[in-house]
């Protein structure tokens, strides 16, 4: 990258901020994702993966460098600029839902990008509307590889990551995060395109989400208004057992996507219905990418309260504004500390202390002592796997910090 000028900010995620960058010589415009060098572990990981990829359905890599700006040393990742913003923003611009013909097109694009990734042994691990960008031609491109993993890396070595509402059951349990987890997340993203909200809108917070997704028999609700083909497509992605889900390549042959080519491609520029589905709605103000998250929402008082609220399903809805955050956690640490707590306040205290001391808490006994949920089998379930406690801790502490 030669000399360039940093322009306006266009997004902020959990680990980095994104701005426009203009190449001084050519005038070309890029997006630059920057993080303090000392905190750029995920960004550097993203760079290593992104620079090896070349696929129209994946945001293009340009370059990377280190700069000093206003006394701070920054690691910068330059990539193709996607002027259409995120898929989530597109959904909002179109009134909170997009038409099935357009859902079909974007789903196909996302699956083509994932097919490319999976064929190279990469799992994205954080597919959601906010991580799908819309290019200059209106096509979807997968972005944000900060959570991605290579197939030889397992949960025990690098931990699990992602956004709770989009997590597959095996991910929520801390067991595995393979290609099937991306398939589940594609279905969640399709639900986002249909409803304008992530799946599980009734859940209160990430911990409740992880519990419900990982340890009940439920699957996200499939909106009744959708076509039978789309319902079937979602049903084949949202199997709780990852082995029963269709692969990305099988999904690309599903009638929802295949039949549509003849049914819904425009036969001429006069095929108004098709083009209507792409009609630009009145421009609404773009929500800032981080506006929702958990920044301003205080967590309910106690873990037991949260768990109880999940089980009685009369929980108030999370608004769109209180969106989901991406969670990233480190790998396993064999020397976990087992703590016992008899109350939720003790539980939270232990979590906070462990953050300060940078130690790991083995939360299985804590969870069961507080929640009293008998069906949780400590041995093979909640938090008993090394690394999972760190993940739960990450969820809670991240919510707190923001």
Ligand X SMILES: Nc1ncnc2c1ncn2[C@@H]1O[C@H](COP(=O)(O)OP(=O)(O)OP(=O)(O)O)[C@@H](O)[C@H]1O
| H helix runs in 196-301, sequence order | 206-215, 228-237, 248-251, 255-264, 272-276
Among 4, 18, 204, 361, binds ligand X (CB under 6 A): 18
Binding residues for ATP: 33
Q: Segment near ligand X (CB under 6 A), from 74-82, 184-192, 193-201, 296-304?
A: 74-82
Which residue from 49, 74, 91, 133 is in contact with ligand X, where contact means CB under 6 A? 133
Task: State yes or no: residue 289 binds ligand X (CB under 6 A).
Answer: yes
Smallest separation (angstroms) from ligand X to the CB of 56: 14
Kindly name the residue from 23, 28, 126, 249 that is annotated as catalytic: 126
Written as six digits, the tokens of 34 are 């920057």
Q: Does 31 bind ligand X (CB under 6 A)?
A: yes
Burial of 397 (0-12, 13-18, 19+ CB in 10 A): middle
Q: Are strands 4-12 and 17-23 parallel, antiparallel or unpaired?
A: antiparallel
Q: How far is the CB of 66 from ligand X (least distance, A)?
A: 18
82 binds ligand X (CB under 6 A): yes
Is residue 102 within 8 Å of 55, Cβ to Cβ? Answer: no
- 126 given a catalytic annotation: yes
Strand, coil or helix: what is 149?
Answer: strand
303: nearest Cα among 234, 376, 246: 376
Residue 59 binds ligand X, judged by CB under 6 A: yes
Output 128 or 239, the one with its CB closest to ligand X.
128
Instruction: Print burial letters for 61-86: b (CB count within 10 Å at least 16), e (below 16).
Output: bbbbeeeeeeeeebbbbbbbbbebbb
Classify burial at 54, counting beta carbons within 10 Å of its beta carbon; exposed 0-12, middle 13-18, buried 19 or more: exposed
Q: Which tokens in the block code for residue 119?
A: 């064929």
* Residue 354 in the binding site for ligand X (CB under 6 A): no
Task: Out of 1, 6, 7, 14, point to the residue binding ligand X (CB under 6 A).
Answer: 14
Please count the residues of this chain forming the interface with ligand X, following the rule CB under 6 A.
Answer: 24
Near ligand X by CB under 6 A, which window of 5-13, 209-217, 241-249, 331-339?
5-13
3-state secondary structure (DSSP) of residue 132 = strand
- Asked if 127 is part of the footprint of ligand X (rule: CB under 6 A), the reply reads no
Q: Hey, which residues are catalytic here? A: 126
Residues that bind ligand X (CB under 6 A): 10-11, 13-16, 18, 31, 33, 59, 79-82, 85-86, 130-131, 133, 143-144, 146, 289, 326
């Amino acid at each position: 990258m030669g000399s360039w000028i940093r322009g306006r900010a266009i997004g902020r995620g959990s680990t980095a901020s994104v701005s426009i960058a203009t190449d001084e010589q050519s005038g070309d415009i890029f997006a630059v994702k920057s993080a303090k060098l000392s905190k750029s572990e995920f960004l550097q990981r993203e760079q290593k993966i992104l620079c090896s990829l070349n696929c129209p359905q994946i945001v293009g890599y340009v370059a990377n460098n280190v700069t000093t700006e206003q006394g701070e040393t920054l690691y910068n990742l330059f990539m193709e600029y996607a002027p259409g913003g995120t898929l989530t923003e597109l959904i909002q611009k179109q009134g909170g839902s997009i038409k099935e013909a357009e859902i079909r097109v974007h789903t196909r694009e996302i699956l083509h990008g994932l097919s490319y990734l999976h064929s190279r042994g990469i799992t994205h691990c954080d597919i959601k509307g906010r991580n799908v960008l819309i290019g200059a031609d209106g096509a979807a491109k997968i972005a944000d590889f900060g959570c991605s993993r290579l197939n030889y890396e397992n949960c025990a070595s690098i931990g699990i990551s992602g956004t709770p509402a989009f997590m597959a059951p095996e991910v929520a349990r801390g067991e595995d995060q393979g290609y099937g987890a991306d398939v589940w997340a594609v279905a969640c993203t399709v639900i986002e395109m249909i409803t304008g909200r992530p799946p599980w809108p009734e859940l209160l917070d990430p911990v409740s989400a992880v519990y419900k997704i990982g340890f009940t028999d439920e699957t996200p609700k499939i909106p009744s208004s959708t076509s039978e083909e789309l319902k079937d497509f979602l049903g084949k992605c949202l199997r709780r057992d990852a082995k029963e889900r269709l692969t990305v390549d099988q999904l690309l042959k599903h009638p929802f996507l295949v039949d549509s080519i003849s049914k819904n491609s425009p036969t001429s520029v006069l095929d108004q219905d098709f083009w209507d589905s792409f009609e630009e709605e009145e421009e609404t103000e773009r929500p800032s990418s981080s506006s929702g998250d958990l920044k301003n929402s205080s967590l309910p008082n106690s873990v037991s309260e949260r768990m109880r609220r999940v089980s009685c399903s009369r929980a108030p809805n999370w608004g769109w504004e209180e969106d989901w955050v991406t969670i990233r956690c480190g790998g396993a640490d064999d020397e976990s500390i087992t703590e016992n707590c008899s109350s939720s306040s003790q539980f939270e205290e232990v979590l906070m202390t462990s953050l300060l001391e940078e130690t790991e808490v083995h939360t299985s006994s804590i969870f069961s002592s507080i929640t009293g949920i008998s069906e949780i089998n400590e041995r093979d379930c909640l938090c008993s796997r090394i690394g999972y406690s760190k993940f739960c801790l990450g969820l809670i502490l991240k919510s707190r910090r923001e």
